[in-house]
Amino acid sequence: MDWTKKELERIQARGLFRSLKAIEQKSGTRIEICGKRLVNFCGNDYLGLAGDPRVKKAGAGAVKKWGTSASASRLVSGNFSIHLELENLLAKFKGAETGLVFPSGYQANLGVIPALVGKGDLILSDEWNHSSLIDASRLSSATVKIFPHSDLSALKKMLAGAKPSQKKLILVESIYSMDGDLAPLPEIVELAEKFSATVYLDEAHSTGVLGKKGKGALEHFQISGKNLILMGTLSKALASQGGFVCVSKAMRDFLVNRARSFIFSTGLNPSAVASALKALEIIESEPERVAKLRGNIHFARQELEKIGVALGVDPTPIIPVILGDPDQTVSASKKLLVRGIFVQAIRPPSVPRSQSRLRISLSAGHTRKEISLLAKSLAEII
């Protein structure tokens, strides 16, 4: 397989070679790589629940009760009562009729979007959408039109240009994963209603994060929408693994029959289900965690502003420090490692060319001292 070597050389020459780093220990925001202790500023454990003793106990308890695997797809013999419990709690949290969980967020997008639209239908997709949304769009065989990031007039033009008979699906994220900015959701929902389109909202980074109670973008903007499908992941603030959509009962029945990534994959692992259930219960009973995250975001923005980092307008846990050149970004990440800070360098294809960046993500689990160390270390190296 000589061609793989050649391709790897090409990737290396462009400064885009990626490799896996082994984390040897992890406790909250503290990790160890190559024996070196670091503060992790590139995880998605937004509420600091992935190491919470109650969540761990729930996960371990489910292994004791149900075993280590669902051992079959949900439609065969892998559908446990806790799956349904989780789906009901997620729906209640998000204010929907019911929910459906998938083995991952990626699989949720890959299963649901091609079930909703197909040949002859139209997908309108924000240019900054996550790869799972892009792949799902390709898999659907629908016509895909990409609008410039959060450009409402471009979106409106595309909607106006569609055939009235065409099914139209607008794909957006509540918080964009690489830049941390919010979608202009109220306006998008209004446009969707006007043109009889459906909005598919990926809430991977906003669940547990946006809104006073962490319910997501609808709570943040204080809006509701009929033609709206909410998707999220259990793997970020919900401290587990798996993906979900919140939908009507009829839509759930439809997806159980049509979403191929649901039908042909083993049911979500029982320990992941129980961990997510417990994390969700904690988020509902301890809204102060969401407030703590918000406090950390404001503190970090103040500290970073002082050292001259250009900040986006939306105060979210994702803060990109754009350096541009991939090699320079990798070298900055290495310099942070020496100072006890772990922030990965994000390069193409995750972000556009000349937009390589250090992508900081904050958690309620970070202390002010850790955030100050981040700012001090950044000031030394950029």
Ligand X SMILES: *Cc1c(COP(=O)(O)O)cnc(C)c1O
User: What is the maximum span of the chain, computed from C-alpha positions, in angstroms?
Assistant: 61
The only residue of 104, 150, 344, 361 in contact with ligand X, by rule CB under 6 A: 104
Amino acid at 270: P
C-alpha closest to that of 279 among 233, 325, 224: 233
**261 contributes a contact to ligand X by CB under 6 A:** no
**45 contributes a contact to ligand X by CB under 6 A:** no
C-alpha closest to that of 266 among 74, 46, 10, 62: 74
Give the HSE-up count for residue 54: Cα atoms under 13 Å, Cβ half-sphere.
Answer: 12
Shortest Cβ 58–ligand X spacing (Å): 19
Shortest Cβ 125–ligand X spacing (Å): 12
Contact 165, 187 (CB under 8 A): no
Structure tokens at 257: 């029959």
Beta-carbon count within 10 A of 287 CB: 13
Contact 38, 337 (CB under 8 A): yes
Q: Report the distance separating Cα 310 and Cα 319, nearest Å.
A: 9
Q: Which stretch binds ligand X (CB under 6 A): 70-78, 82-90, 105-113, 372-380?
A: 105-113
Element spanning 219, H or E = helix 217-221
Chain residue at closest Cβ approach to ligand X: 105
Name which of 346 and 373 has its Cβ closer to ligand X. Answer: 346
Shortest Cβ 180–ligand X spacing (Å): 11
**243 contributes a contact to ligand X by CB under 6 A:** yes
Shortest Cβ 108–ligand X spacing (Å): 7
**233 contributes a contact to ligand X by CB under 6 A:** yes
Shortest Cβ 233–ligand X spacing (Å): 4
DSSP letter at 235 equals S
**204 contributes a contact to ligand X by CB under 6 A:** yes
**29 contributes a contact to ligand X by CB under 6 A:** no
Residues between 113 and 142 with contacts to ligand X, criterion CB under 6 A: 130, 132
125-to-130, 162, 236, 341 alpha-carbon distances in Å: 10, 14, 23, 35
The residues that bridge with 228 in the sheet, in sequence order, are 199
Name which of 276 and 375 has its Cβ closer to ligand X. Answer: 276
**105 contributes a contact to ligand X by CB under 6 A:** yes
Shortest Cβ 10–ligand X spacing (Å): 27
Contact 336, 343 (CB under 8 A): yes
Residues between 163 and 182 with contacts to ligand X, criterion CB under 6 A: 173, 177
For residue 259, give the 3-state DSSP assignment. coil
The only residue of 29, 98, 125, 235 in contact with ligand X, by rule CB under 6 A: 235
The only residue of 106, 147, 200, 262 in contact with ligand X, by rule CB under 6 A: 106
Distance, CA of 36 to chain centre: 28
**269 contributes a contact to ligand X by CB under 6 A:** no
Shortest Cβ 235–ligand X spacing (Å): 4
Shortest Cβ 186–ligand X spacing (Å): 20
Contacts with ligand X by CB under 6 A lie at: 104-106, 109, 130, 132, 173, 177, 202, 204-205, 233, 235, 243
